[in-house]
Copies of this chain bind each other. A is one copy, B any other.
Amino acid sequence: MTPHADFTAPSMGEPDHENIIRVLVVDDHPPMRMGLVALIKSQPGMDVVAEASDGEEAIEIYEDVQPDVVLMDLRMPGMGGVEAILAIRKKFPNARVIVLSTYDLDEDIHRAMQSGAQSYLLKDMPIEEIASTIRSVHAGDALLPRPVAERLTERSQREQLTERERDVLESLIKGRSNKEIASSLCISEDTVKSHLKTLFAKLRVRDRTGAAVEAIRHGIVHLK
């Protein structure tokens, strides 16, 4: 796809301190990809070795070119960033991935870091910060910008939802009544109400409408 020069195997032997950082750019927006490529190529000591426009492509290409660092968008059609990171790190546990997202939703950040990303940047950050993070992550650090770290703290203060609570929440956001949620999950209506009670407490809302809005606001469930 994108021409990448002859590369030397990153495993074994001599440290790559003096080598150029080989970056894989993953984003489904062509102009954004173009910008990230321009950004990286404008920096000394790093270069783009390949591009991908969704998760599956990213996995394939990663195996081929085995880049030093991946710059990965989160929301993409088909396979998203999180699944791609999981797949890549399953096969290459040392893979270094920086998530670059439009959104600073606490759940997104949490899921990304959970899946093994080394950092999480926002697209409204200056290009210097993106470049310096690529260097840091390549050097083995895993740092989060202040505002992102703060969001992650927010999320940790919110109580974890159980699997069943998530199910109810998702069903709720589809516009279903308690009765409908019950039958869709094959449980009694009382059980639904029971889950809703704890759900309201955990999300700190009074009713289902508040729960729906909070869930969307924090990225706990995604629309569409």
> Which A residues lie at the B interface, using CB under 8 A?
28-36, 38-39, 77, 100, 102, 123-127, 130, 172-173, 175, 177, 205-210, 212-213, 216-217, 223-224
B29–A213 CB distance below 8 A:
no
Q: Is the CB of B32 within 8 A of A32?
A: yes
Q: Provided the pairs A35-B38, A38-B38, A175-B205 are in contact, do residues A126 and B30 lie with their beta carbons within 8 angstroms?
A: yes
In the complex with contacts A175-B206, A205-B175, A34-B213 CB distance below 8 A: no
Question: Which residues of the other chain, B, contact A31 by a CB distance below 8 angstroms?
Answer: 32, 35-36, 39, 100, 123, 127, 130
Counting from the closest, the 3 A-B pairs by CB-CB distance are A35-B35, A34-B35, A31-B35
Taking a contact as CB atoms under 8 Å apart, the answer to whether A213 and B36 are in contact is no
Cα A31 to Cα B6 in complex, Å, equals 27
Complex Cα gap A36–B130 (Å): 18
| Further contacts, 8 of them, CB under 8 A, given A31-B123, A35-B38, A217-B223 | A29-B102, A29-B124, A31-B127, A77-B124, A175-B210, A209-B212, A213-B216, A213-B223
- Chain B residues, Cβ within 8 Å of A206: 175, 177
Give the complex CA separation of A153 and B124 in angstroms. 32
Task: Report which of B35, B77, B207 forms a contact with A36, defined as CB distance below 8 A.
Answer: B35
Q: Tell me, in angstroms, the Cα distance from A32 to B127 when the chains sit together.
A: 10
Chain B residue at minimum C-beta to C-beta distance from A208? B209
Complex interface: chain B residues within 8 A of A100 (CB)? 31
Q: How far is the CB of A28 from chain B (nearest CB, A)?
A: 5
Chain B hits for A126, CB < 8 A: 30
